[in-house]
Amino acid sequence: MAERTESGQSATLDNLLTEERTFAPSQDFAARANATADTYAEAEADRDAFWAKQAERLHWETGWDQVLDWSNAPFAKWFVGGKLNVAYNCVDRHVEAGHGDQIAIHWVGEPGDTRDITYAELQREVSRAAHGLASLGVGAGDRVAIQLQMVPEAIVAMLACARIGALHSVVFGGFSPSALRTRVDDAEAKVVITSDGQYRRGKAAATKSQVDEALEGAESVEKVLVVRRTGDETGIPPWTDGRDIWWHELMDAQPDSHTPEAFDSEHPLFILYTSGTTGKPKGILHTSGGYLTQAAYTHHVVFDHKPGEDVYWCTADIGWVTGHSYIVYGPLANRATQVVYEGTPNTPHEGRHWEIVQRYGVTLYYTAPTLIRTFMKWGEDIPAKYDLSSLRLLGSVGEPINPEAWMWYREHIGGGNAPIVDTWWQTETGGIMISPLPGVTATKPGSAQRPLPGISAKVVDDQGVEVGRGGGGYLVLDKPWPGMLRGIWGDDQRYKDTYWSRFADQGFYFAGDGAKYDDDGDIWLLGRVDDVMNVSGHRISTTEVESALVSHHNVAEAAVVGASDPTTGQGIVAFVILRGGADDDASGEKAITELRNHVASEIGPIAKPRQIMVVPELPKTRSGKIMRRLLRDIAENREVGDVTTLADTTVMDQISAGLKSGK
Ligand code: WTA
């Protein structure tokens, strides 16, 4: 097995693998569930026919001739020859079917302002925005970068792009100007959409100047659209005449109806950047028909969603794939009524989420383990103050959920009976891949359990041979699936190398996760096996943080590891060697704070190391590869493991001695 599971999450692992509780679905839930046990057999019998049936959830302007074309693997084509408009599927068709008055979005702003948006209103807003973007010269195939907090305009902007066949590239609001710039340049975005400012933890902060800093000299960018959010509280933002336009000024002047054009099933829908094992983020490319099919199907079966009855809330940010597939595309394609909340979970108080659940009668709630653990820390008496009886299903995503957090979630949020779906998937997979089926599966705390009907995943050893029950190894996806990435933007070779070379002989997709089968054959995810960290469910590469550190004038070399963290899953711990000429106090507290801030300004606050240790040397193999396993031992206060493959076996002693003496 790879480094990660040898030493990494051993504590979590021990817990996970002794877990034996199961929770069968209640009869009431099972009787009305969208999924049935037969779905597995149906999909198994004829995979293509199964996916063709799922694609019928959508409106196709032109039907497809072929379900899957895998002749040019690993570049897939799904629903070949079919044509559809993604935004029409998410908005207009519901209005045409008589549901225009149904609330699509209960939006809640952090300061307490709210907006209820019906499907008919959403249709008008998306139509105006489609005209607005087109008036700026944005057309099919062009790229639009969006860096916005969770305001309705973010969703409208994404759908407007989809409507006119432009690709959106949403950049998480927590990314720094230089991270935004890298993404804008890589995608050659023509338009950037942002806001004047943001509410964050009760305060209004101006943010437009940071976007300006990011875009200085950015050659591809013609226009910057600015959504007014904080207004008078942050004043008039810096403005570049001829380039900057207020969103409302442009959109208010547009007609509110727009005829959607049908695009090819394989027309690109969006790019979303994610961290890989090298410093350069990868632009994950998704296309239209297959992606939307999987988003809609999984949202239907995994969340047991019933349109017109349920109130759904996914707490993710649209800056991540969960926000794309399970706030925008899946739920809207399925005519969901959903909550979208702008702010942090403890503003103005730690019961904010439960207050919102009570107020809107939320029935389906989907969040991340890191937040569940935070809620645990805040105490069970907080949710106990609210009426959470509307909740009938809970979901988890982003990292392995430890059984303690799972049980707490079930007891204190789910009233001891709501099924929990632990959903494993990735930016690259587009939609959920491994998850219990509510109403069918007897759930187990900590296990994502089984690939969904239509999906095939296996746990294999180094040679690509499937391991037996009780065995551990690498998670692979051994059959193509509709929502799969179609490549890395502008880099086909990197796509092949990253995902398809590890098990090239078998033609497996290598997910980068370690996994294990239990004695029932259920899958337990064990964390990354590569140099990608998972901090609060955010993927951050060790190399990216290392590059940020060495770009500081005091740092000669840096090595970064993800150390287990009780709340965030992993925390970033950095080991740095200072430059010969560095100031004497460069290893002092002030200098370390400066280094941490430097990383935040290079990448974003999410990448700020939890701890930085100044060391005289780094442990390297003879071929010069840093042995992160050993550094992780130090970061997690464990006895240091086997050092025999180090070029200099005394290095670990030097490091430990230096740390003990406080140098
Ligand atoms: C991890 C998020 C265990 C995993 C949708 C994966 C999980 C990475 C789970 C993808 C889960 C996600 N159990 N691990 N239920 N869900 N992961 O691209 O390591 O931001 O490879 O997509 O998160 O992160 P990404």
Q: Two tokens at 448? A: 């994502």
Helix, strand, coil proportions of the chain in percent (round to 5)? Answer: 35, 25, 40
**Rounded (10°) angle between helices 542-550 and 589-602:** 120
Whose CA is closest to atom 4 on ligand 1? 399
552 is in an annotated binding site: yes
Provide the pLDDT for residue 595: 95
> 3-state SS string over 625-640?
CECHHHHHHHHCCCCC
> DSSP assignment of 224-288, as one string?
EEEE-SSGGGT-SPP--TTTEEEHHHHHHTS-S--PPPPEETTSEEEEEEE--SSSSPEEEEEES
340 is in an annotated binding site: no
The conformation of residue 483, written as its DSSP 8-state character, comes to T
For CA atoms 137, 141, 147, 149, give the dihedral sign: positive
Provide the pLDDT for residue 662: 53
320 CA: nearest ligand 1 atom:
20
398 is in an annotated binding site: yes
Provide the pLDDT for residue 587: 72
511 CA: nearest ligand 1 atom:
21
Beta bridge partners of 515: 473, 525
* Measured CA distances, 411 to 358, 394, 437 (Å): 17, 11, 20
Provide the pLDDT for residue 522: 97
Peptide bond into 348 cis (omega under 30): yes
Averaged pLDDT, groups of 10, the chain, 663 residues long: 35 57 95 96 97 98 98 98 98 98 98 98 98 98 98 98 98 93 97 97 94 97 98 97 98 98 98 84 96 98 98 97 98 98 96 98 97 95 98 96 94 97 98 98 96 98 95 96 98 97 98 95 92 89 90 91 92 92 74 94 93 91 81 90 82 82 53
Q: Which among 277, 286, 426 is the best mutation to test ligand 1's pocket, defined by most ligand atoms within 8 Å of the CB?
A: 426
For residue range 341-377, list pLDDT tens digits in order. Answer: 999 999 999 999 999 999 999 999 999 999 999 999 9
Provide the pLDDT for residue 597: 95
Letter for the amino acid at 624? G
> How many other C-beta atoms can be found within 10 angstroms of the C-beta atom of residue 212?
18
Distance CA 467, CA 311 (A): 41
Whose CA is closest to atom 10 on ligand 1? 426
> How many other C-beta atoms can be found within 10 angstroms of the C-beta atom of residue 66?
13
322 is in an annotated binding site: yes
427 is in an annotated binding site: yes
Distance 182 CA to ligand 1 centre (A): 24
Radius of gyration of the chain (CA): 24
625 is in an annotated binding site: no
For residue range 537-565, list pLDDT tens digits in order. Answer: 898 989 889 989 989 999 988 999 999 99
Whose CA is closest to atom 12 on ligand 1? 398
Q: Which among 275, 397, 455 is the best mutation to test ligand 1's pocket, defined by most ligand atoms within 8 Å of the CB?
A: 397
Letter for the amino acid at 59? H
Within 6 A (CB) of ligand 1 lie: 274, 320-322, 397-400, 422-427, 448, 511-513, 525, 528, 534, 539
Provide the pLDDT for residue 490: 96
Whose CA is closest to atom 13 on ligand 1? 400
Beta bridge partners of 15: none
> How many other C-beta atoms can be found within 10 angstroms of the C-beta atom of residue 100?
18
Q: Two tokens at 85? A: 């408009």
Q: How far apart are the first and last CA of the chain?
A: 35
Distance 648 CA to ligand 1 centre (A): 36
Residues 6+ apart with CB under 8 A from 444: 19, 21, 22, 23, 518, 522
